Amino acid sequence: MDEPLKAAAVAVSDLSLHLGSQTIFEDISFAVDEGEIAILIGPNGAGKTMLMRTMLNLLSAQTGSVTIFGRDNRNLGPVRHRIGYMPQRLDFDRTFPITVCEVMLLRLRKSGFWSNRRARREAILATLARVHAENLIERRIGQLSGGELQRVLLAYALLTHPDLLFLDEPAAGVDVAGEDTFYALIHHLRHEENLTVVMVSHDLDVVFRYADQVLCLNQRLLCKGAPHSVLGPEVLEQTYGSLAASYRHLHRH
């Protein structure tokens, strides 16, 4: 009996982005099914972050289209609340006195920033608890460590119970133990809530352990598919250059 076809949460078709005379990426086409974890890999400057930002309509592509839950990404309207996003960098004044709770309040729809905080605090605490960050609720956002900030940003993205997460190098600046915890959490959430995840990562170990689909990007899409099927030495060399290699262990440490 055939498995029912999964709907595509994200569908990218013939997408190209040029900035001035520079080609960032071109002719990108792929789809990410609902409940799938798709990981974008590629060397620095390959266009991974730019591709993610283009999918979110933070940049305007020259050609091609992106649909998210069937809607054009330039007119997301009613599906916007179903999307969560963790940017790669968070450039803000870290000396500014704003707490984790206040930042999370910004995410709640149709809520005032100044009123009814107690009711919203419960929802915020529950979400922070999902990422093991409930103890950070009254901490100032600028005083958080790299790992703590990543967990808070993930909680921020999860606060409205999205169906789709865009994570841009979510474990950047986090130690190895923190990375493992983070990705295990993403994996757990995916299974628990059928969450769709599109992620940018540099870590091939993460790709092999968690990705349903890997997308190799170096201005063009050099591979797409299940990691064990498509990530061979030739593809890695094409993506990263001649110095790249992968050593795969067949057992877990």
Strands of the sheet with 213-218, listed across from one edge:
83-86, 164-168, 196-200, 37-41, 213-218, 220-225
Task: From residue 167, give the alpha-carbon distance in Å to each of 2, 170, 251.
Answer: 32, 6, 28
Q: Are 237 and 244 in contact (CB under 8 A)?
A: yes
Binding mask 110-129 for other proteins (x = CB under 8 A): -xxxx---------------
Query: Is 53 an interacting residue with respect to other proteins (CB under 8 A)?
Result: yes
Positions 154 through 213 that interact with other proteins (CB under 8 A): 156, 166
Quick one: which segment of 38-46, 100-108, 204-212, 225-233 binds other proteins (CB under 8 A)?
Answer: 100-108
Plot region of 195 (φ>0 → left; ψ -120 to 50 → alpha; else → beta): beta
Does position 19 interact with other proteins (CB under 8 A)? The reply is no
In which element (H, E) is residue 96 found?
A: none
Kindly state the smallest distance separating residue 114's Cβ from other proteins, in Å. Answer: 7
Rank residues 166 and 182 by Cβ distance to other proteins and give the closer one: 166
By CB under 8 A, tell whether 87 contacts other proteins: yes
| 56 binds other proteins per the rule CB under 8 A | yes
80 or 220, CB closer to other proteins?
Answer: 80
Q: Which of 16, 43, 65, 98 binds other proteins (CB under 8 A)?
A: 98
Residues touching other proteins, count (CB under 8 A):
31
* Binding of other proteins by 247 (CB under 8 A): no
Query: Applying CB under 8 A, which part among 23-31, 98-106, 122-130, 193-201 lies near other proteins?
Result: 98-106
Side by side, the strands of the sheet bearing 63-68 are 22-33, 8-19, 63-68, 71-72
What size, in residues, is the chain? 253
Contact 220/48 with Cβ under 8 angstroms? no
Q: How far is the CB of 226 from other proteins (least distance, A)?
A: 29
In the list 6, 18, 27, 58, the residue contacting other proteins (rule: CB under 8 A) is: 58
Query: How far are the Cα atoms of 157, 199, 213 from residue 151, in angstroms, in the given order?
Result: 10, 15, 24
CB of 81 closer than 8 Å to CB of 100 = no
Q: Quick check: 21 binds other proteins (CB under 8 A)?
A: no
